Structure 1
Amino acid sequence: MSRLRVLAFGLLIAAAVLKGVAGLLLGLTVVLATELLILRLQLTDGQPGNTNLRWPWRRKKIRVPFPSYERIAGDLSWAHYSVRDFDHGLRRRLLRALEVRLSDGSGIDLAKQPDRARALLGEHAWSVLRPGEPARDDRGEPGYELRALDDVVRAIESLPSTTSAEKEHP
């Protein structure tokens, strides 16, 4: 690449000396065309037939060994932006965890026994999760802070589990 640049600048100087202003314009055109060619080759990994551009500022896609973890982390990070992002992401996961924990630990069906589930879960967590209500689509209303989400997770974790129920009733 540097040889191509040296040659182009050499032609620019020679054209300017031999032809004056017209030569200078021709030489600048050659230099510009050379720089564009170099840029094009850099963006395509130096493969002239490659039509897939490689933008240097574009983030590389990293293969993650635990893609589900990445999705959960993404849902968690979006949960505070709006109630829509919370409802369509993390809330669904938390409701599923709540259903499993209630069913396995206490034999409570969340859909059929919401009053018992509400009493076990607590008002704060219930008001955040809003079981049985549709997901909201309002991006104007802010989501939940990490502390509130942590409280909800703690409330779900504090529910009786199968292992603790088996330990209490052998």
Structure 2
Amino acid sequence: MNFRKALLEHRGSTVFETKSGSLFIEESEVASVAVVVLHEGNLTLVRQYRHQMDQQTIELPGGGLEHGEQPENGAKRELDEETGITVDRLTYLGPYHPQPYFTNRLSHLFFTNSIKSSGNQKLNDDEEIEVIQMPLNDVLKSIQDGKIQDGELGYALFLCQLNGYI
């Protein structure tokens, strides 16, 4: 039985409408990565403009995996591109479905406190990303106060706490 109708296809993504009128996106390349970087009590975060919300957001560094790329390699690449940080090792925190009611996207979350070096960002032409360092307690307070509203960041920090990394 078909409960959905394709409305738009673009670069491996399809927007569907259900019988009740809800929309959802099915992506052929479903994985992305994000990294919790803790160094000397500070978290490395990125501030960037999100067109969908018409505002700046504060998030973990990360992004989409390239075709066939392993999550750990993608996490290291995205961290280097967005922040200029290279790391010795990453610890896998687990998978995360950011919006299972809206998309099939899966994010792989990682933790590191082993910064090897810091350099320059290697951004795409359409990216404007500011790297910020925030004390962990300030980030937690900002989440509590609703100033930071990124669910992926909150969930990743929760996993870090459950695993004893913070």
TM above 0.5: no
TM-score (norm 1): 0.21
Higher percent of residues as strand: 2
Higher percent of residues as helix: 1
TM-score (norm 2): 0.21
